Amino acid sequence: MRTLVTLLVLPLLLSGGFGSQPTPSSWTLGPFQRARPAAPVIVPNPSSIFFEPIRRRPVHWEALHTFNPAAVVRNGKIYLLYRAEDNTGVMAIGGHTSRLGLAISTDGIHFTRNPSPVFFPANDAQKSREWPGGTEDPRIVEGPNGLYVLTYTQWNRKIFRVGIATSTDLLHWTKHGPAFAGASGGKYDNIRYKSAGIVTRLSNGKLVAARMHGKYWMYWGENRIRLATSTDLIHWIPLEDARGRPIVALSRRLSRFDSAFPEVGPPPLLTSKGILLIYNGKNDAKHGDPSIKPGTYSTGQALFSADDPAKLLARTSKPFLQPEMPYEKTGQYAAGTTFAEGLIFYKGRWFLYYGCADSTVGVVATASTTHR
């Protein structure tokens, strides 16, 4: 059964070519606004120290950058899992070790942070996949019986993959390894893949993992966004065409904000209109949108059929969120990002959390709305 959600209007244009499809006013989520005064909600804290279990020494685990967050509502509060980079390694993107910190809020803007990371590389079965690069870019959903399912990037500075982990309290985690381990006879065991969002629905005011056609569904990937299914939220199988190739659900468009490639954003949302995917688009240096700086990551929306999750129904031609504030345009990633990964419904409002220039965490929110 589909959950009915009343979405506020976001005045964006469709890209064309979809015939008599829903108008943007009937399916997009928004409009979103920054708080006033606009400012990051999570910033680096050089004083935070964590005893690192692999090298067995203290490390300033969130000294350099805090960004790309996941979000979930638990016990009436917002829980944010954010990527934090320490001050080890080389001064380059991907050159530090990443861990996931935890922050809690009752208003969506002011957060109390856990002094130590809650998810990190350790001397465990995933060490070879996560060390020394770390655990990056989380997305999170609530599954059955209060089980939380985390998708994240495992980065050992050689190859990256989507990892799966589960928890009942967001503090203690069980790592299950790569999402596609052993799938299709092991054909995905040695490929690079990242960015995965499990489809959710709004139930009793919270977003929870949605079953469709007897399965859970996941959009995954950068460059091209693809699909996978699961019966248990842990073991995933990519959808393939008749020739055994992963089915492509979304790809780049020339002269648009996503002209270099699209990349999965927060967990998609099942609505009465279809599956709403908020995604991040990188602007190409030569064939991109001339009004947006080359290399910039902005945020758009796409709608897929709930009957056929690979069928694209509509897509915004302009981003609804892009780097505008100084903290979104300056930082570790010089071209600027509004890289969305966390979406929640809280106290009658939608909150969208995103990474700002690979350096801090930002948030935008809607005005109060209703759902049924």
**In a domain? residue 35:** no
**In a domain? residue 33:** no
Distance of CA 210 to the CA centre of its chain: 17
- Cis bond upstream, residue 37 (ω within 30): yes
Residues 165, 148: contact at Cβ < 8 Å? no
Tell me: the pLDDT tens digits for 280-304? 999 999 999 999 999 999 999 999 9
Helix (H) or strand (E) holding 134: strand 134-142
Predicted confidence at residue 14, as pLDDT, reads: 25
Q: H-type helices in the chain, by residue range?
A: 24-27, 127-130, 326-329
Residues 117, 61: contact at Cβ < 8 Å? yes
What domain count does the chain have?
A: 1
The CATH number covering residue 181 comes to 2.115.10.20
pLDDT at 317 over 60: yes
**In a domain? residue 146:** yes
Q: Is 29 exposed, middle or buried (0-12, 13-18, 19+ CB in 10 A)?
A: buried
Q: Comparing 4-13, 276-285, 344-353, 357-366, which segment has the lowest mean pLDDT?
A: 4-13
**In a domain? residue 372:** no
**In a domain? residue 3:** no
Read off the pLDDT band of 6 (50, 70, 90).
very low
pLDDT at 21 over 50: no
pTM: 0.93
**112 residue type, one letter:** T
**In a domain? residue 11:** no
Predicted confidence at residue 91, as pLDDT, reads: 87
Read off the pLDDT band of 24 (50, 70, 90).
low
Predicted confidence at residue 174, as pLDDT, reads: 98
Q: Comparing 14-18, 55-59, 85-89, 202-206, which segment has the lowest mean pLDDT?
A: 14-18
Predicted confidence at residue 26, as pLDDT, reads: 86
Residues 51, 57: contact at Cβ < 8 Å? yes
**In a domain? residue 7:** no
User: What is the largest distance, in Å, between two alpha-carbon atoms of the chain?
Assistant: 61
Mean pLDDT of the 268-273 span: 97
pLDDT at 191 over 80: yes
- DSSP conformation letters of 229-261: EESSSSS-EE-B-TTSPBPEEE---TTSTTSSE
Tell me: the pLDDT tens digits for 143-165? 988 999 999 999 999 999 999 99
Q: Which domain holds residue 191?
A: 42-365
**Among 33, 155, 149, 148, CA closest to 83:** 155
Distance of CA 189 to the CA centre of its chain: 22
Tell me: the pLDDT tens digits for 205-247? 899 999 999 999 999 999 999 999 999 999 999 999 999 999 9
**In a domain? residue 20:** no
Torsion sign, CA atoms 82, 88, 89, 90: positive
Distance of CA 225 to the CA centre of its chain: 13
Residues 15, 23: contact at Cβ < 8 Å? no
Predicted confidence at residue 15, as pLDDT, reads: 29
Q: How many CA atoms lie within 13 A of 315 on its CB side?
A: 21
Tell me: the pLDDT tens digits for 319-337? 999 999 999 999 999 999 9
Which residues, 6 or more positions from 145, have their beta carbon under 8 angstroms from its beta carbon? none
